[in-house]
Amino acid sequence: MPASPNDLTQRPPRSARVRLGGYAILPRCLDKGRATVNGKNGEYHYNCPLDQMLLTFAGIDAEELKSQLALGKSDTEILEWIQTNAKNKRAPYEIYAWSAWVEQRVPTEVEGREYFHSIHKSVGPNRKDIGTWFDVLDMDDYASYGGKA
């Protein structure tokens, strides 16, 4: 029997690159939220700084979103809920631009360059193609479940 999509002790959440309603990060945030509700989040943290970037951009409260996830709503239903309840009503072009920007974000001193490099060094020190936060997250997720970085 395959692992439940809500069991992050068996498989990683979706990549932060995957989009829902144009929003990068959202599917990953939903996976972590559902896993947290079910007590199966493993090493993953719902409402981490990455999730907070998305939630702030959309104007969604993390606890309210988690309450919606606890009701067993699908991705489509959650997206509809976000579109209805977001404090920051964003046009599609704004969502697209924000998602493109966040996907290309590189570490800065303020945002944890040392932390970024520690993950890179421990998981894939010979990888020369890791430059963005999404790159390092994808590599870490893959390696965490047995892949060779």
Helix segments in 41-74, DSSP class H = 49-58, 62-70
20 is in which domain, residue-wise?
Answer: 1-103
Answer yes or no: do 121 and 85 share one domain.
Answer: no
pTM (2 decimals)? 0.92
Mean pLDDT by 10 residues, the chain (149 residues): 71 97 98 96 95 97 97 96 96 98 88 85 90 94 88
Identify which of 2, 90, 4, 81 has the alpha carbon closest to the alpha carbon of residue 42: 4
Give the Cβ contact number of residue 36 at 10 Å: 19
Tell me the β-bridge partners of 113: none
Q: 134: Cβ–Cβ under 8 A, 6 or more apart, which residues?
A: 15, 16, 17, 24, 103, 105
Do residues 97 and 144 share a domain? no
Question: How many separate domains does the chain show?
Answer: 2
Q: Does residue 132 share a domain with residue 97?
A: no
What's the pLDDT score for residue 117? 86
Mark whether 16 and 50 lie in a shared domain.
Answer: yes
Tokens representing residue 105 in the block? 């974000």
Output the pLDDT for position 89. 95
Question: Measured between alpha carbons, how far is 63 from 38 in angstroms, rounded to an integer?
Answer: 15
- Under 8 Å between Cβ of 13 and 32: yes
